[in-house]
Amino acid sequence: MKTKIAFFDAKEYDRQSFINSNIDEEFEIKYLETRLTSDTCKLAEGCDAVCVFVNDDVNSEIIDKLQAMGVKLIALRCAGYNNVDIEYAYGKIHIVRVPAYSPYAVAEHAMALLLTSIRRIHKAYIRTKDFNFSLNGLTGFDLHGKTVGVIGTGKIGRIFIDICRGFGMHIIAYDKFPAADSDIEYVSLDELWEKSDIISLHCPLTDENRHMINADTMAKMKKGVVIINTSRGALIDSEALVEGIKARKIGAACLDVYEEESNVFFHDYSNHIVNDDVLARLISMPNVIVTSHQAFLTNEALSNIADTTLSNVREFFEKDTCPNEVCYKCENIGSCKQTHEKKCF
């Protein structure tokens, strides 16, 4: 009998990559355009597993409803799981994730945002479309010799560091768990705030680091600092960021994520009025670039996400091992020290 999967928040690119990975039709996948919410979770009735993404809300109420319907597995097709109440899920329903899909995709997008911003490429593109070839207002600055502070030195952070080294930049970094035997220069957060010309976030979101960039930390930064965020939106206090830009403290912001993105990103609102005033103010600012959580979106990443997600589901139902399971009892959330010789419960 085929394993039945309810696939929430399905986009065409998701669907195609999973169809390619499920070429032997090993799984029966029901693709749903809607996000997983308390009202829509009933669409998973009769399914063995649900597949969700970053903006699906997997709270205690939804976990109870899924469990009552007989759903045994929540398969995240992403690395982060701050949208899942993993403590409440323990003992009720298992959670698996895709720990890595293409760290190159995210790191390269971070650099693309930085180059676009500081060299005014987006402005030049719009101008030349109107045959305006003036250079006024397009002056940027060299990356060579600048100091970049990298917060989070996992796979993505280290690849971003390698890219920055190629530009001749000086790198300093902060990580709660520094990479062993690396040549990375680790510093305290306060030193990173004070010395960095550019700050790039590459860490997961936790209760501890929520709004780690806020009014107080921005006050410690250099005037004109450039902030890049391709990780999680709530690492930055968005209202404080707006004020920092208005005060000319923040020179530019490159954002692929936003803390209130769940009701906006991945949808077309070009013919609608967006009610999020903070996001509207950020987008209106000439030194802010916002992309809609697309850093992961490459052919290679989509293929890896589909292959790993379906492999997670296959292992869960066919074996008693689950190497990509996450639970709140893991020693360090995000870098589990369990051997996963069996399921977490």
235 φ/ψ angles, rounded to the nearest 5 degrees: -65, -20
Task: State how far the Cα of 63 lies from the Cα of 65, in Å rounded to an integer.
Answer: 5
Helix then strand then coil, % of the chain, to nearest 5: 35, 15, 50
User: Among the options 232, 259, 315, 325, which is catalytic?
Assistant: 232
Task: State how far the Cα of 87 lies from the Cα of 327, in Å rounded to an integer.
Answer: 7
Q: Token pair for residue 335? A: 């870098």
Catalytic-residue membership of 261: yes
**Residue closest to 325 by CA, chosen among 96, 53, 99, 98:** 96
Task: State how far the Cα of 82 lies from the Cα of 61, in Å rounded to an integer.
Answer: 16
**Residue closest to 97 by CA, chosen among 298, 313, 338:** 313
Task: State how far the Cα of 178 lies from the Cα of 185, in Å rounded to an integer.
Answer: 10
User: Among the options 202, 259, 293, 315, which is catalytic?
Assistant: 293
Residue where the block lists tokens 């952070």: 157
Catalytic-residue membership of 232: yes
Tell me the H-state helices in the chain: 12-21, 60-68, 86-89, 103-118, 121-129, 155-166, 189-195, 215-219, 238-246, 277-284, 299-318
The residues carrying an active-site annotation are: 232, 261, 293
